[in-house]
């Protein structure tokens, strides 16, 4: 189903080609090109004074947290520039001088905006005041905040059942905003709190909670830098966590070995030239990974099984650890014996020798850490894959002691904190009891919708109101046209946003844009300037405080928007001190301290430079699982079966984007310029299909007897295993079927889409 594009704004980015220029993939990452790119990004958006002021505070103690990824900052002394190229791009896009104001919306209808690229929409600038789309209107019109909250309260209170409302969160929201939001939603009467994590690290959370009793990583930044072996699996740090390369360079210089497991030889994993060091500026790069395993898409379960076979064979099981701390050993040993190398080789796409080599390094390393991201979490069997990785660490005792453990590298800068604040559709009873007690009400117990269930519910007409706290639900979600139809079924869709995106164009009958302050901006409330808090990938909670002049005087902070929304909607029904919360965020933190474990003396400790670590029992080998032990699990192989002619496609990020925010049209490290509609293919796969380099093709996906098509992509020959293809998200999201989700975690399978390619007739 496609949009009738003349009457409705297009849900998909335009199917148009740019002017592709192609070169070899780069041999090493960062270095001087990155520094030049950072500065030119800032200068293309704002003046030098505003740019310099922002960068001087970025990631500094007492400054503001980088709004891009969740990579941590050093605990100790910090350099003058604790940021990377992509951090600078994220700041540039926030502090831009361009504005989406009333003139902008007078000039552009929604249908017209739908024809613009995602790059163009983001580049239009910061949203300056609230905007309302009336039923049947072609343009947004400005409204004041009072009217905006009236519309929201009216539509929410018209719900026959609170479960008709859906409250999405993207991982940039601060702890304070997230805590208030979940409180408001639960006082309103639902647990419908889907978040971006459902599409991201949900599989990691599910696998880790079950096996080790906490859904988070277990290591610190310093441990990564000083361990003997780091496995980097299914992650492209050079683009998505660039400062991780600084740490990996230190690991290597300290004598550690890096193994990369990735279908692609991502530039960032080959070698790294430090942008802030003279050697880096001159182009002298440190080689990073000493072993690269070019695994087939979805081949990691087989790889980990092979490595586990080697552990048993080498007698490398840590028997004392297994006896004292784990359950399930015998079943795992039996399963490992029954698994055949031939199957592991076929399913991983690696040779037995390659798997043995990785296992030998891992086993012989005194300590080892595994880092991973979306390459492991977005498959139909992701939870099993990650549980198998946990098995490998448990069997060898490489967990819960210094310099050994697990590191799911989180995406959005506060996605982990939002979960800690219980932005979750499946809250625990113990948390709800503490929430009830703090605020004198009874929160709903029935679990709510996750992201995919929320889309299904709206599609089925069971969603009346959709509210997004940040993010771009339409473009981030799978099955773009299905999701668009779901959102269009709502009475009201509303987004709390800094920048314009496609999600503002594909709306319910009415729609609201509620513009908020960004991280870099001063947040002045009745009690004075306010700071917020965030949690990084290593469980460090620290403050973030912006100092720049806000993009417009009409902006409200996220906490203020939520407080006023709650007050307007709930009125007398809520006893929570919304006004006090808005006036002084210390009051929010006092409540957090009483409701969420690990936040004792929150206000005091937040003011300590660098913040504090949240408790993590696994570090002391305390496993808070149902059995009280770490659980070894049996995860049967479950290969994806392809028909002749089919390939597996992963949908991933270019170097010039942050999720659905497109900063530019290039993917420098992969040698792509001026084009996003590309599909990376193994040269033999192209040859077999008679497809020439840069030839336009259509991509068709297959799921459950249905097909979906993404039109007009240029074929790029690339070093990727035969059978494994890649295209950018969000352009390829039309291909991800709504029902194609991971078992247990429900995460869309964005990294293993079954596809075929068709040449475009005569073009």
Ligand X SMILES: Nc1nc2c(c(=O)[nH]1)N[C@H]1C(S)=C(S)[C@@H](COP(=O)(O)OP(=O)(O)OC[C@H]3O[C@@H](n4cnc5c(=O)[nH]c(N)nc54)[C@H](O)[C@@H]3O)O[C@H]1N2
| Chain positions contacting ligand SF4, by CB under 6 A | 59, 66, 68-69, 71, 83-84, 86-87, 241-243
- Which of 104, 167, 466, 658 binds ligand X (CB under 6 A)? It is 658
DSSP letter at 71? P
Considering Cα of 499, then 505, then 506, then 507, what sign does the dihedral take?
positive
- Which of 59, 239, 635, 741 binds ligand X (CB under 6 A)? It is 239
Binding mask 366-385 for ligand X (x = CB under 6 A): -------xxx--x-------
How far apart are CB 75 and ligand SF4 at their closest, in Å? 14
- The per-residue b/e assignment along 12-38, b for 16 or more CB within 10 angstroms, e otherwise, is bbbeebeebebeebbebbbbebbbebb
Asked if 570 and 162 touch (Cβ cutoff 8 Å), the reply is: no
Residue that is written with structure tokens 């791009």 in the block: 89
Which token pair is 477? 């979600």
How far apart are CB 327 and ligand X at their closest, in Å? 28
| Partner touching 83 among ligand SF4, Mo ion, ligand X, none, CB below 5 to 8 Å by kind | ligand SF4
- Name the segment binding ligand X (CB under 6 A); options: 7-15, 178-186, 467-475, 665-673: 467-475
Residue 565, SS3 per DSSP? helix
**Of 387-426, which residues contact Mo ion (CB under 5 A)?**
411
How far apart are CB 720 and ligand X at their closest, in Å? 8
- Which of 218, 489, 493, 498 binds ligand X (CB under 6 A)? It is 498
Q: Closer to Mo ion at the Cβ: 28 or 372? A: 372
| Partner touching 373 among Mo ion, ligand SF4, ligand X, none, CB below 5 to 8 Å by kind | ligand X
How far apart are CB 131 and ligand X at their closest, in Å? 13
Question: What is the rounded radius of gyration, in angstroms, for the C-alpha atoms of the chain?
Answer: 25
173: burial class by Cβ within 10 Å (0-12, 13-18, 19+)? buried
Q: Closer to ligand X at the Cβ: 189 or 268? A: 268
Q: Closer to ligand SF4 at the Cβ: 83 or 578? A: 83
d(CA 11, CA 6): 12
Asked if 346 and 718 touch (Cβ cutoff 8 Å), the reply is: no
User: If binding is defined by CB under 6 A, does position 236 make contact with ligand X?
Assistant: yes
**Of 663-722, which residues contact ligand X (CB under 6 A)?**
none
CB atoms within 10 A of CB 52: 12
Which token pair is 525? 């409330």
d(CA 730, CA 481): 12
Q: Closer to Mo ion at the Cβ: 411 or 427? A: 411
CB atoms within 10 A of CB 166: 30
- Which of 59, 128, 170, 543 binds ligand X (CB under 6 A)? It is 170
Q: Closer to Mo ion at the Cβ: 411 or 611? A: 411
Q: Closer to ligand X at the Cβ: 170 or 631? A: 170
| Partner touching 519 among ligand X, ligand SF4, Mo ion, none, CB below 5 to 8 Å by kind | ligand X
**Of 182-241, which residues contact Mo ion (CB under 5 A)?**
200
d(CA 66, CA 346): 42
- Output the CA–CA distances (angstroms, integers) from residue 168 to 195, 198, 199, 588, in the order listed: 5, 10, 12, 21
Q: Which residue is nearest to ligand SF4 (CB)?
A: 87
Nearest to 213 by CA among 613, 615, 618: 618
Binding mask 185-204 for ligand X (x = CB under 6 A): -----------x--xx----
| Partner touching 658 among Mo ion, ligand X, ligand SF4, none, CB below 5 to 8 Å by kind | ligand X
Residue 699, SS3 per DSSP? strand
Asked if 82 and 90 touch (Cβ cutoff 8 Å), the reply is: no
H or E stretch at 393: helix 382-395
Asked if 81 and 42 touch (Cβ cutoff 8 Å), the reply is: no
**Of 509-548, which residues contact ligand X (CB under 6 A)?**
516, 518-519
How many residues bind to ligand X according to rule CB under 6 A? Answer: 62
Considering Cα of 567, then 571, then 573, then 575, what sign does the dihedral take?
positive
| Partner touching 252 among ligand SF4, Mo ion, ligand X, none, CB below 5 to 8 Å by kind | none
Q: Closer to ligand SF4 at the Cβ: 498 or 635? A: 498
Q: Closer to ligand SF4 at the Cβ: 59 or 420? A: 59
Which token pair is 594? 């009483």
d(CA 30, CA 40): 15
Residues whose CB falls within 8 Å of the CB of residue 677, separated by 6 or more in sequence, listed in order: 15, 16, 17, 18, 712, 713, 714, 731
**Of 284-303, which residues contact ligand X (CB under 6 A)?**
295, 297-298, 300
- Which of 46, 382, 733, 749 binds ligand X (CB under 6 A)? It is 733
How far apart are CB 511 and Mo ion at their closest, in Å? 25
User: If binding is defined by CB under 6 A, does position 240 make contact with ligand X?
Assistant: yes
How far apart are CB 500 and ligand SF4 at their closest, in Å? 22
User: If binding is defined by CB under 6 A, does position 757 make contact with ligand X?
Assistant: no
Q: Closer to ligand X at the Cβ: 55 or 297? A: 297
Q: Parallel, antiparallel, or unpaired for β 753-759 and 724-728?
A: unpaired
User: If binding is defined by CB under 6 A, does position 69 make contact with ligand X?
Assistant: yes
User: If binding is defined by CB under 6 A, does position 389 make contact with ligand X?
Assistant: no
How far apart are CB 516 and ligand X at their closest, in Å? 5
How far apart are CB 659 and ligand X at their closest, in Å? 3
Looking at the DSSP bridge assignments, the partners of residue 755 are 647, 701
Residues whose CB falls within 8 Å of the CB of residue 737, separated by 6 or more in sequence, listed in order: 478, 479, 701, 703, 704, 706, 708
How far apart are CB 107 and ligand X at their closest, in Å? 20
How far apart are CB 473 and ligand X at their closest, in Å? 6
- Which of 229, 395, 476, 506 binds ligand X (CB under 6 A)? It is 476
d(CA 261, CA 292): 6
Q: Where are the alpha helices (DSSP H) in 543-662?
A: 558-570, 578-583, 585-595, 602-606
Asked if 450 and 198 touch (Cβ cutoff 8 Å), the reply is: yes
How far apart are CB 297 and ligand X at their closest, in Å? 4
115: burial class by Cβ within 10 Å (0-12, 13-18, 19+)? middle
Q: Closer to Mo ion at the Cβ: 721 or 748? A: 748
Q: Which residue is nearest to Mo ion (CB)?
A: 411
How far apart are CB 19 and ligand X at their closest, in Å? 23
Q: Closer to ligand X at the Cβ: 536 or 631? A: 536
Residue 367, SS3 per DSSP? coil
Q: Closer to ligand X at the Cβ: 213 or 748? A: 748
Backbone angles phi, psi at 196, to 5 degrees: -65, -25
How far apart are CB 269 and Mo ion at their closest, in Å? 19
d(CA 455, CA 457): 5
Asked if 28 and 271 touch (Cβ cutoff 8 Å), the reply is: yes
| Partner touching 497 among ligand X, Mo ion, ligand SF4, none, CB below 5 to 8 Å by kind | ligand X
d(CA 530, CA 25): 45
Backbone angles phi, psi at 464, to 5 degrees: -100, -40
Q: Closer to ligand X at the Cβ: 499 or 564? A: 499
How far apart are CB 58 and ligand SF4 at their closest, in Å? 7
Asked if 493 and 464 touch (Cβ cutoff 8 Å), the reply is: no
What is the contact surface with ligand X in residues (CB under 6 A)?
Answer: 67-69, 86, 170-172, 196, 199-200, 233-236, 239-241, 261-264, 266, 295, 297-298, 300, 373-375, 378, 411-412, 469-473, 476, 496-499, 501, 516, 518-519, 558, 650-653, 657-661, 729, 732-733, 736, 750-751
What is the contact surface with Mo ion in residues (CB under 5 A)?
Answer: 200, 411
């Amino acid at each position: 189903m496609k949009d009738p594009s003349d009457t409705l704004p297009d849900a998909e980015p335009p199917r148009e080609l740019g002017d592709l220029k192609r070169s070899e993939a780069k041999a090493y990452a960062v270095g001087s090109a990155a520094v030049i790119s950072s500065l030119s990004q800032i200068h293309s958006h704002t003046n030098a004074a505003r740019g310099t002021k922002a960068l001087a505070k970025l990631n500094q103690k007492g400054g503001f947290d980088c709004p891009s990824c969740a990579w941590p900052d050093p605990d100790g002394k910090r350099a003058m520039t604790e940021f990377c190229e992509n951090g600078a791009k994220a700041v540039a896009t926030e502090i831009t001088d361009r504005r989406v104001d009333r003139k902008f919306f007078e000039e552009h209808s929604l249908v017209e905006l739908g024809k613009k690229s995602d790059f163009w929409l983001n580049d239009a600038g910061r949203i300056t005041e609230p905007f309302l789309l009336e039923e049947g209107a072609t343009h947004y019109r400005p409204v004041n905040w009072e009217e905006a909250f009236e519309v929201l309260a009216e539509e929410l209170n018209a719900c026959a059942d609170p479960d008709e409302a859906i409250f999405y969160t993207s991982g940039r929201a601060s702890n304070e905003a997230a805590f208030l939001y979940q409180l408001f939603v639960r006082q309103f009467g639902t647990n419908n709190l889907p978040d971006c994590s459902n599409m991201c690290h949900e599989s990691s959370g599910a696998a880790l909670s079950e096996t080790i009793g906490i859904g988070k990583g277990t290591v610190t930044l310093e441990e990564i830098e000083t361990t003997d072996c780091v496995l980097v699996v299914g992650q492209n740090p050079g683009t998505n966590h660039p400062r991780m390369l600084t740490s990996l360079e230190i690991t290597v210089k300290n004598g550690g070995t890096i193994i990369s497991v990735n279908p692609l030889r991502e530039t960032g994993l080959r070698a790294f030239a430090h942008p802030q060091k003279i050697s880096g500026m001159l182009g002298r790069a440190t080689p990073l990974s000493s072993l690269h395993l070019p695994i087939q898409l979805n081949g990691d379960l087989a790889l980990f099984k092979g490595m586990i076979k080697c552990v048993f064979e080498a007698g490398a099981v840590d028997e004392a650890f297994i006896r004292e701390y784990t359950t399930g050993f015998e079943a795992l040993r039996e399963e490992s014996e029954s698994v055949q190398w031939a199957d592991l080789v076929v399913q991983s796409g690696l040779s037995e020798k390659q798997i043995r080599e990785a296992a030998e390094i891992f086993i012989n390393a005194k300590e080892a850490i595994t880092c991973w991201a979306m390459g492991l979490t977005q498959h139909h069997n992701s939870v099993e894959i990650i549980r198998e990785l946990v098995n490998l660490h448990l069997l060898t005792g490489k967990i819960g002691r210094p310099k050994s453990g697990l590191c799911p590298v989180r995406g959005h800068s506060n996605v982990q904190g939002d979960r800690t604040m219980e932005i979750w559709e499946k809250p625990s009873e113990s948390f709800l009891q503490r929430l009830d007690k703090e605020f004198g009400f009874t929160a709903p117990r029935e679990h709510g919708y996750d992201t995919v269930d929320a889309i299904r519910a709206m599609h089925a007409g069971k969603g009346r109101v959709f509210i997004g706290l940040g993010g771009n639900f339409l473009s981030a979600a799978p099955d773009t046209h299905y999701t668009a139809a779901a959102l269009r079924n709502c009475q009201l869709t509303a987004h709390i946003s800094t920048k314009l995106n496609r999600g503002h164009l594909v709306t319910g009958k009415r729609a609201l844009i509620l513009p908020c302050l960004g991280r870099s901006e001063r947040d002045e409330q009745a009690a004075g300037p306010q700071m917020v808090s965030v949690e990084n990938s290593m469980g460090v909670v620290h403050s973030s405080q912006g100092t720049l002049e806000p993009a417009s005087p009409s902006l409200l902070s996220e906490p203020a928007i939520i407080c006023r929304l709650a007050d307007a909607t709930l009125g007398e029904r809520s006893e929570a001190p919304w006004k006090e919360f808005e006036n002084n965020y210390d009051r929010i933190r006092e409540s957090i301290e009483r409701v969420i474990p690990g936040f004792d003396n929150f206000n005091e400790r937040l003011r300590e430079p660098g913040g504090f670590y949240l408790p993590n029992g696994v570090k002391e080998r305390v496993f808070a699982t149902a059995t009280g032990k770490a659980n070894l699990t049996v995860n049967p192989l479950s290969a994806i079966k392809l028909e002749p002619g089919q390939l597996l496609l992963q949908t991933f990020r270019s170097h010039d984007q942050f999720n659905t925010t497109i900063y530019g049209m290039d993917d420098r490290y992969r040698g792509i310029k001026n084009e996003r509609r590309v599909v990376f293919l193994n040269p033999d796969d192209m040859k077999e299909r008679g497809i020439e380099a840069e030839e336009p093709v259509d991509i068709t996906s297959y799921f459950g007897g249905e097909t979906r098509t993404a039109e007009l992509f240029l074929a790029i020959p690339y070093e990727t295993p035969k059978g494994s293809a890649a295209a950018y998200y969000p352009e390829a999201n039309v291909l991800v079927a709504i029902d194609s989700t991971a078992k247990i975690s429900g995460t869309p399978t964005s990294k293993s889409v079954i596809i075929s390619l068709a040449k475009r007739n005569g073009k």
